[in-house]
Structures are given as C-alpha cells and as structure tokens.
Structure 1
C-alpha cells in the first residue's frame, strides 16, 4: 500500500530528506504519530520522527546542512538521536534500534537494529507504522503489525506481548489510557488485562512524566474515558488515591448519598464541553475531594459533608506537591475554585442578600465567570425539569451579581482610601491601627453600610478611628 504524499505540505522537506539519505547510502522512513495522524486525517503534527537503519545523527547533520548550514542540530549520543528545529517543525532522526530493559528502570540498553526491530519496540500498532522515503519505494506504508486495521477499528494493541511491553516501559500504560481518551479508542482486552497485571510497575516512572500524560487525558474531549480506565486498571490508586475514596454508596437507615467518584467524572465531562482551561478542569476534578474525609451520618438529618470545600481547598496544595504540579498561581486558582465551589449554589437556594453577593464577588474576583462555569457543570441531575430550574436560578443570580457589581464595584476590590492617607490623617506611623481601619472599611463596603466611595470611606474612618482613641 502506498500513501500519496504529493499533496502533503511537507512534501518538499520529505524530498530533500530522501535525496540526502540516498547520497549517504542510508535508508529513511517516517514513523510514529505523524503517520498515524496522517492516516486518520487529523491535524498534522509538528513533530516528525524519522528512522534510518544507519546513523540518525549523521543523517540529521546532512539534512540540516542541505536545508540551511546555520541550522542547529541537537545531538543525544546515548540514544543515537538528533533533533532539528525547522520553521514550526521539530524533526527527530534516530538510528533503528533494539532495546532491552532492566527491572528498576524504564531507560533501555540500546543497540543497532533494523526497521522491523525499531517497529517492534513501539508502544502500539497504530504508532508502529512507517512510510518509506527511499527512492525505490517512496510513500510505501510498512505495517508489519496490521496497525492500519487497528486504526480503522479504533483498537489499541501492542506490537509484542502486552505484559512485557508494559513491564519494560510502564509509562506505556499511561499512554494507552491517554490514547484511549484522546482518540476515543478501545484498549484491546489482553492489553487491558496486562495493564492491571503490571500496574505496580508505574512506581518506577517519575511523577512529572505521569502528569504529562494525565494532563493530556484531562484535556481530551471526554476525560471520563481516561479517568474511568485509570480507576478500572488500578493506576489511579498510585496517582490520586484520594479520588478513589469518593467511590461507593453507603446506606444508613434507608438513606444513601450519591457516588461522588462517578459524579466527579460527570462534572469533569460537563465542564469540558464549555472550557479548554486545564486548571478549571482540575478544579472540577477536585471540587468534591474533601467529601470522603468529611462524610458523616447525622441522625434526623442524613448524610452531611460539612466543610468539605474548605478541607478540599487545603488538600489541593498537598496533592499538587505530591503530583509535582505547579505550586504558584495555577495551584492557588484551583484552591480558590474548590473553596468557593458551593457558594453560588447557596445563593440560589436562599434569598440572597446584596452583601452575600458582594462577598462572593470580592472572594472570586476576576474568576467569577469560571466559578459559574464550574457550578453549572456540577448539575448532574438526570431530571430535565430540575436541570432547567437550576440553570434558570443560576441565570437569575448572575443578573443580580452583575447589578451589584455595577453599583458597588467590588470585583478585584481596592480600598477607596489608602493606608498612606489614613497615616497622614492621624499623623500615624505604620502599625496595627492602619490594618484595623482598612479592614473595617472593607467590611462596611461588603455589608453595604457605606458605598465604595472615597468620601464615604474617609468619613467612616474618622468615626471608627475615634473608637480607637485616634483624632485628626
């Protein structure tokens, strides 16, 4: 079978590589994800991998010299690979190789091999296909493991025995789940069983590498596919066991609570319809994380999860540290979203006062819209009338919040009177009195006692300062 590359936007590049390889008496093939995406008619990847049965480094250097002598070639001698960044592309050249692994490392021992050896070491048949760029069979698809049929059927299957494949490089287990989620493919039965069998091997993989795959699952169209597979195979207990604690339904005196694990997966899917923001999706994943440790059955009331948002927000930092996720603004954003995740719902069910709306605006700040996106995603009832009612209520609260914001301007609140001005008014040096007065001004504005206005704030400060024994 031949692949027509004549309409490919990289045809000129492929022709150059073909000619350079021929001059060097080298073979050359495109392999991996680029071939898969080309056959699936997906958006072309900007990463293209090339295999030669001779020296990948020499081929890369020759190709770079042909394209532009100033092009830098990054060389990785240990693995016999080299990379060129050209326009918007990353071109990686590797010598075909055999690999062997030791028990405690996913870094292989490498020796030279044939194209077939190189294809055998690939993770899945759909990633083991190659397209020849050699002059005598330019464009021929070389597919020893029938990857094209697996591609057509939407199946993830390993070229070799799956347990060995996953044991050799346990990251492939995460990649299997990631491809199942991003491509919406099915992991072949024997392969799925092998992941469950070899699951403990994931412990030798760095958390940073695991999170690269996990975040790709989180950014897929329907993340619950991957998250369910992580739980089903046992991988999730090595990554975020706190999520598994949410699983299951208990019954006391005929009263049950919902399964918060599967509810969480629904919320993540719901939010993914409306946002591509990775950390907002993470907020959806962790919004109920505090429910397992706060779950309690109260006689006459039923199941309660009192304070789960506050505890959950505190758990976020511990989780991000363990998962080697960023601990700066992204983590703080997720903490804030988790902590506030039930606040809009409380405002919907009560006769919300302006002060409650002002406080929510103050606490959410510029993330108010994201918080509403999260809360709407949290509606997982299958009762369409209830769904419509919740959505109407959210719209009503959104209108009220907009009215309060326009009137009181408390989003991204800045005090209308500064600490410097207060010090000047009372001839004070920096001290606790300044903080007390600024806090009182903030509280008065949020409670609606005074307007968010400089003159009103100044009058208020004079009255409150007198209570502290201060005079102008």
Structure 2
C-alpha cells in the first residue's frame, strides 16, 4: 500500500530529502499514521513522530537547519530523541531502537535497532505502522503485524505475545482499554487474556499515569465501556477499589438493593450525553461512593444508605489525593455535587420558595451541574417512572429560575457586612457579629425579608435593639 496522496504537508518531503542527504532511512510512525488511516476528523493532525535507522538527534538537527537555521531543537540525549516545532506541528525524531525491561520498572534498557525492532516494541499492531518518507520509497506503508487488517476488524491486538508486551510496560493495558473506548473497538481475546493475567502489574505504574489514561476514558462518549473493561480485566480493583466496592447485590429474604456499580456507570453515561465537563463526570462516578459504608437493612424500610451523600463528600478529598487529581476548586466542585446530589429530589414532591432558596444558596454556581447530575441519576428501567421524574424536575428548575430572578440567591452576598455591623454599633469582632449575619441570612432564605439592603438594614436595627446594642 502506498499513502503518498495522504502525505500532503511539505514537512514529509523535507524530512525525506534531509534523510536522503544523511544516508538514513526515515519513517512516519505511531499515532499519526493510525489516525491518518482512520481519517479521524475529531483529532487534528498536530503531533508527528519520525523514526530513522540512525541518529534521530542528527536528523532533527539537519531538518531544523533546512527549515530555518535559527530554529531551536530540543534535544533529550538520555532518550536519544529530539523535538522541534514548525508550522503548528510538534515533530519528534528518534533513532530506531529495541528495548528490554527490568520487571520492577517501566523504564526500558534501550539499544540501537532496526525498523523491525522498533515496530516490535510498539504497544499495538495499529500503532506499529510506518510510512517511508525517503524519495525512492515515499509513501510506502510498512505493516509487519497486519495492523491494517486489525483496524478493519476494529480490533486491538499486540504485535508480540501480550503477556510480554504488558509485563514490560503495564501502562499499555490502560492504553488498550482507552483506545478500545475511544475508537469503539474490541480487544482481541488473547490480548485481553494477557491484560487479565498481568493486571497486578498495574501497581508499578504511577497514579499520575494511570489517572491520565483514566481521564481520557472518562472523556469518551460512552465511558462505561472502558470502565467495564477495566473491571472485568481486574485492573480497576487494583487502583480504584472504592468504586469496585459498589459492585454486587445483597439479598435478605426476597429484598435486594440494586447493583450500585452498574448504576454508577449508567449515571456516568447519562451525564456524558449532557456534558463534556470532566469534573461533572467525576461527580457522577463518586456520587454513591459511600453506599457500601452506609448500607443497612431493617425490616421496615429494607435496604437503606442513610447519609451516604455526606460521607461520600468526606471521601472525595482522599480519593482525589490518592488518584493525583487536582486538590483545588475542581475537587471542591465534585465534593459539593456529591454532598448535594439528593437535595433536589424532595423538591419534586413539594416545591417551596424557601427550599429552593436554600438549594440555590448552597449549590451556587454549581446549580446547573447539580441538576444535570440529578437527572442522570434517574436510571429506572420503568420508562414511565423516569419520564415522570424528569417532568417534575422541569417544574423544579422552572421554580428555581423564578426564585433566582426574584431573590438573586445563587451568588448570595450578605447585604450587610460584618465590618459595617462593627462600625455601626462600635463593637469589636466577636461571635455576636456572626450570629447577626446568620439571622439576616436565615430571614432572607426563609422569605421573611427580600435579598435587599434596605430590608436587611431594617432587620439589623431590630436585632440590634433586641440584643441591647442600641439605646
């Protein structure tokens, strides 16, 4: 197969010409070739990897000189690689190599090798493709492991024995799942068996690298597919046991609770249909995370999970810290949604202005995301029940919009500040200041007064008189 028509960008001819001048064979490899053949319109061609049978650093330096004598080349001698930026492209050059691994590390021992050696060390057959850019063979596709055939079958398969491929670099197991999820591919049965046999090896991979791949899975249109592959392979149990603890159904007599693991995955898929927000998707993953710890059974109510929302919110920082997720406002956003995810449900039965004000006050800027999560959390197989709940949520959101327009509660700021109270009554900072502010806030949330400075000041004077702060 020759792919000359697909190599339209002039960079390929330039690299090929320079390689000919240096007397080395050069190839485009990896993800660029894969995505070129897949014609992925969702992924712009930006990163291009070149392999040469020789020094990648020398080739990169010569290419940079041919493009612009003052162009900067980033050289990484320890890895034998070099990078340069040109025309919006990130170009990486490396010499063909073969690798061997120490069992306790993902860092390979690298030696010079042939193109065949370099292709054998690749993770999957679809990533082991190479296109020659030398003039005489320009556009020639080298496909020693039938990667094109696997792509036509929509199959993820390793070039070598999968047990060896995954034992050498266990992160490849996460990548297999991620590619299957992103491309809607299957994983070859032998390759999946290799993942299962090496699942324990994922523990030598840093949480940063695991979470990077996991976030890419979460960002997929149907992320549950990736999570199910992680679960059935045994990997998820190794790095996310809190989620796996949701799996299973327990019976007492004929009373059972639903499988909260698969419920969570359905909620995640439902959220994915509504939003690309990674952190809203994380909230979906964690919204029921404390159900195993709060599960109880009594003869009157059956299975209960009282307080799982509050306990789950307390678990969020620990999970984020362990998973090396950001400990900033993104974590606080997820924590808030986990804590509040049950709050809109009672409003479905009775929508009062006071209850709506309190929810708007507590949810703040996360209100819209919270309502998306609540809608996603309706996973009954009874379509009439689902539609009934969704229509009720429509009414709740309509009421929220009305109350917000009238009372401006979502981004609530006290109409009277603590400093003003101290100055007005010439009193120092003390507990009484907080008590007064709390009383004014409660009056606003209960609808006793409007969220208005004049009404707040009038109430302040009344409270001050009752507390003996005025003559």
Match of 1:468 in 2: 467
Show the 5 A alignment for 1:29-178. 29-43=27-41, 44-178=44-178
Match of 2:392 in 1: 393
Query: What TM-score, normalized by structure 2, do the two folds share?
Result: 0.98
Deviation for aligned residue 1:425: 1.4
1:251-273 deviation digits (Å, cap 9, x = unpaired): 11311111000000111111111
Q: Secondary structure at the match of 2:19?
A: helix
1:340-371 deviation digits (Å, cap 9, x = unpaired): 111111211x3122111001000111111111
Show the 5 A alignment for 1:177-196. 177-196=177-196
- Runs (4+) off by over 6 Å: none
What are structure 1's unaligned runs of at least 5 residues?
none
- Tell me, yes or no, if structure 1 residue 286 matches structure 2 residue 289: no
Distance 1:71 1:231 in 2: 47
Deviation for aligned residue 1:70: 2.6
Aligned pairs, number: 469
Match of 2:346 in 1: 346
Match of 2:366 in 1: 367
Q: Secondary structure at the match of 1:139?
A: coil
Contact 2:173 2:195 in 1 (8 A): yes
Distance 1:365 1:8 in 2: 51
Deviation for aligned residue 1:86: 2.1
Match of 2:218 in 1: 218
Deviation for aligned residue 1:382: 2.1
Distance 1:270 1:71 in 2: 48
Distance 1:140 1:346 in 2: 65
Match of 2:10 in 1: 12
> Which has the higher mean CA deviation after the structures are superposed, 102-111 or 86-95?
86-95
Contact 2:4 2:138 in 1 (8 A): no
Deviation for aligned residue 1:8: 4.5
Q: Secondary structure at the match of 1:248?
A: coil
1:1-32 deviation digits (Å, cap 9, x = unpaired): 10133x545x2111111111111112110001
1:410-466 deviation digits (Å, cap 9, x = unpaired): 011001112222112101222222221111111111111111111111111122223
Match of 2:378 in 1: 379
Contact 2:101 2:107 in 1 (8 A): yes
Q: Secondary structure at the match of 1:303?
A: strand
Match of 1:455 in 2: 454
Match of 2:331 in 1: 331
1:372-393 deviation digits (Å, cap 9, x = unpaired): 1111111112222112111110
Distance 2:20 2:7 in 1: 21
Q: Secondary structure at the match of 1:343?
A: coil
Deviation for aligned residue 1:311: 0.6
Distance 1:16 1:165 in 2: 34
Show the 5 A alignment for 1:258-337. 258-337=258-337
1:300-321 deviation digits (Å, cap 9, x = unpaired): 1111100101111111100001
1:86-116 deviation digits (Å, cap 9, x = unpaired): 2322111010000000011000000000011
Distance 2:24 2:93 in 1: 12
Query: What TM-score, normalized by structure 1, do the two folds share?
Result: 0.97
Contact 2:123 2:158 in 1 (8 A): yes
Distance 1:222 1:179 in 2: 13
